[in-house]
Structure 1
Amino acid sequence: MKTLYFISLVAFLFLLKPVTSQAQDSTGTINVFLDCRRACDEGHVRNEIQFVNYVRSEEDADIHLLITSQRTGNGGEEFTLEFIVRDEELGGDKTLTYFSAESDTRDERRSELNNYISRGLFFYLAEKPIAEELTIYHNISEDTQPTQRVDNWDNWVFDINADTDIEGEESEKEFSLRGRISAERITPEWKFEFELQQDYDRQTFRDDDEERVFTREDREAELLLVKSLNDHWSAGISSEARRSTRNNYSLLLEGSPAIEFSVFPYEEFTSRQITFRYRFTFGRYDYEERTIYGKLNESQMQQQLSSRIEFTQPWGEFETWINASAFLNDFDRKRLDTRMQLDFRIYRGFSIYISGEYALINDQLSLPAGGITDEEQLLNLREQLTSYSYEARFGLQFSFGSIFNNVVNPRL
């Protein structure tokens, strides 16, 4: 009887026909491929802007709307909206830029972003029948006339963050405390950043009447000052002070002048950038335990050459980062880090992503001579000796069916 009831229920569910709204006549409006790259709330856009058709693939689109975002110097966010025309009869490509203040709420940010999306789409709808159903509103206020803004903070932004995490069960407890204070001032000519943070983790294990406690602590202060020289060159200096039980530092002090060259003008960073940076570092290191090289403290000079390549285009995203470093008094003490990520749209509804990291490591000067215990290894409380590290990911996504993507249904 139970089996018959289950079969009847499944059959009933399959016979149900979901009620959805129909896509608008494609001859009356335009088809838009919304390509947010996590920079917008896609469901909110489709629900609020209903005078266009949203399609799942750029091959079916009249307009490819590519939205990217970057953090701004005042703690806010800059959104770049690229309206890429696939139907030449609609006109040419357009780009809009929207700045959101750090104080904006999530709802304020996404609502204003929708306004900018609507403004950009209006241009391509002027000759479409649906234009007769659209109305443009102009809110007139005392602030309508452009005025020179007065910034009482002179571009300074301050952040204070603190959080704690408490977990436990009968035989295990964990307590974590993290704090961060930062100050920054970013203008087209100068960039100043200062950050102070501390992480503290304590894990307690109880086995019969025995209790074991393991702690890990990391304190760090960083400062960065950069001067823009022109559209392609920048120069700066950074410094760092750190204490880390995991890395065996009772005190690390580093100072680094650096220079950077950008192949493309810096203003194009939202869509493409290729940069090369050279940095020279002088460091003083005091260790909690004697290292495998018999040192309790030492001074070292190090040089680094790094490059970053990043493209955000309609076909997807590509990013790679390479960093090579070596100590000047011993070139055998060196390191090479590489990181790569690719999100590539191959064809309608079919895309792949590949990411990976690899490092050749021969610069672990702070490793303690006494080694580490099994517990410290399992809990990752101490840095371990290694000549390399790697991580790789690969995935694909394939979707098919209706080309339209208009309906938003938040139920259940």
Structure 2
Amino acid sequence: MAPTAALIAQPAGPRGGPPGGAPRPAVAETVLPDSVLQSSLRVFLDCQGGVRGCDRTFFTQELNYVNWVRDRFDSDVHLLLTSLNAANGGRQITVNFLGQKNYAGKVDTLVVTTLPNDADDVVRRELLRTFQLGLAPFVARTPIASRLRVGLANGVVAPVINPRAVKDRWNLWLYRVDGNINASGEQLVRTTNLSTSLSAARTTEQWKINLGATGSYNELDFKVFETNASNPALRDTVSVVVLQRAANTNALFGRTINAHWTAGVKVSAGFSEVLNQKMAVRVSPALEYNYFPWSEATRRQLTALYYVRPNYYEYYNTTVFEQDRETRFNHTLLLALTQRQKWGNTNITLEGSQYLHDMNRNHVTLSGFVDLRLGRGFSLNFRGSASRVRDQIYIAANAKSERDILTQRQQLQTNFRYNVNVGVGYTFGSIYNTIVNQRFGNLGELGRRFGFFGG
């Protein structure tokens, strides 16, 4: 890959001169004083419409001489990204650098044009380069400017900003509250879906804490026609209401051991009418190993996760094993491979679980996707999962009615599950036409039926 222009950190050489041939000092030696870090540029990343390649974790790790904030009102620079279809089948991503507070009125715009078959890693690295160039005039007005220069860089690492050096009244905690209401209907069918979630998270280099609660209420109200008992020539309209309710609370505590190992515990409690679980409580001590250092997590991971846990279940209906409540132990091993490379992306997971009281009660699942860029304009992708299921100890013993089966009111017993999708694509023609033309871009249902009008 050719060298790219970028902002890089490089300690000054003897008497302020260039570094010369001396080995580059460790990152720890380039950490700036707290007073400087607290005044570093604050940047808010705003990706409108799900801009491809907008990977906040990657940018935070790679462009670490600015403070990334989660609210635009706290930022010095608002990075606003928008995306439009280009005539070559790729995307035109516009990056707006909007100055705020002491930088109010300072505005710049840069444009990134992608090809239709560019891998996600190519797109996000091009965005990273664009951020580095566009933020240079802003960084030049901060105390960190003396430590940075614009030049040709090949993997030179910037000084790491320590989040603890920045005054934070929230102490690194992030909270989120979500609520959704969805209703739809026709003459004979009406559905109502309600859901809510609460979460709190705190992440440091040593600890990862996630707390959460979710709840859902799904109601299906439909009308069926039944023969009138007193007059068979007539049919009555009967309203049938099917409810599916569930709720869950969980807590995850993870502790970094070293560059590869992590230990933790997850606790959860909840109920699910579909799964016949009036109460389910689980405690899961876990150990995780990553073959690659976690510092490379945005690019590649090969992890093994193992946990053993007790499970307490209380059921709405007696199960097929004649249980109304029970405590069972199971253990699980999960292997996962994730890569984001120039040639494409892979995400493959193999999971196996087994109840200890009966080794025949187990399940094995292979799932994931592979997205390959095999050549110029040619892509191939596989998505799917396959499971062997033998651990449904919660299945109710009472016979299911035809109505329950058709409405999926309760989980049905099965020995396997699968879904498979294979896709292939080939794009050819001009790669130079990057003109954006949004005319006829809003055709409603007509546009959805004739996809080539998409804007």
TM-score by length of 1: 0.72
Q: Cα offset for 1:285?
A: 0.5
Counterpart of 2:79 (choices 100, 104, 108) is 108
Any stretches of 5+ residues in structure 1 without a counterpart? Answer: 1-28, 31-38, 46-66, 70-76, 83-94, 125-133
What's 1:245 paired with?
Answer: 273
Size of the aligned set, in residue pairs, is 325
Cα 1:41–1:79, aligned 2, differ >3 Å: closer, same or farther? Answer: farther
Q: Cα offset for 1:407?
A: 2.0
Letter in 2 for 1:292: V
The answer to whether structure 1 residue 78 and structure 2 residue 60 are counterparts is no
Task: Answer whether contact 1:81 1:117 (CA < 8 A) is retained.
Answer: no
Q: Cα offset for 1:310?
A: 0.8
Letter in 2 for 1:223: A
Cα 1:176–1:319, aligned 2, differ >3 Å: closer, same or farther? Answer: same
2 CA distance for matches of 1:42 and 1:402?
26
Letter in 1 for 2:220: Q
2 CA distance for matches of 1:212 and 1:187?
51
- Secondary structure in structure 1 of the residue aligned to 2:360: strand
Cα 1:79–1:41, aligned 2, differ >3 Å: closer, same or farther? Answer: farther
Task: Answer whether contact 2:195 2:217 (CA < 8 A) is retained.
Answer: yes
2 CA distance for matches of 1:96 and 1:78?
10
Letter in 2 for 1:120: R
2 CA distance for matches of 1:246 and 1:359?
19
What's 1:385 paired with?
Answer: 413
The answer to whether structure 1 residue 285 and structure 2 residue 342 are counterparts is no
The percent identity for this pair of structures is 24
Q: Cα offset for 1:209?
A: 3.2
Q: Cα offset for 1:137?
A: 4.2
Counterpart of 2:333 (choices 302, 305, 327) is 305
Task: Answer whether contact 2:63 2:132 (CA < 8 A) is retained.
Answer: no
Cα 1:112–1:96, aligned 2, differ >3 Å: closer, same or farther? Answer: farther
Q: Cα offset for 1:344?
A: 0.3
Deviation by residue 1:326-385 (Cα, 9 ceiling, x = unmatched): 111110101101102110011110111111200000000000001322222222221111
Q: Cα offset for 1:121?
A: 6.0
Q: How does 1:9-408 map to 2 (within 5 A)?
A: 67=53, 69=55, 77-80=56-59, 96=63, 100-104=68-72, 108-110=79-81, 111=95, 120=129, 137=137, 144-146=142-144, 148-207=165-224, 208-408=236-436
2 CA distance for matches of 1:275 and 1:119?
27
Letter in 1 for 2:418: Y
The answer to whether structure 1 residue 411 and structure 2 residue 439 are counterparts is yes
Task: Answer whether contact 2:331 2:356 (CA < 8 A) is retained.
Answer: yes
Letter in 2 for 1:108: L
Letter in 2 for 1:396: V
Letter in 1 for 2:79: E
Task: Answer whether contact 1:43 1:408 (CA < 8 A) is retained.
Answer: no
Cα 1:138–1:406, aligned 2, differ >3 Å: closer, same or farther? Answer: same
- Secondary structure in structure 1 of the residue aligned to 2:361: strand
Task: Answer whether contact 2:255 2:264 (CA < 8 A) is retained.
Answer: yes
2 CA distance for matches of 1:123 and 1:246?
50
Q: Cα offset for 1:308?
A: 0.7
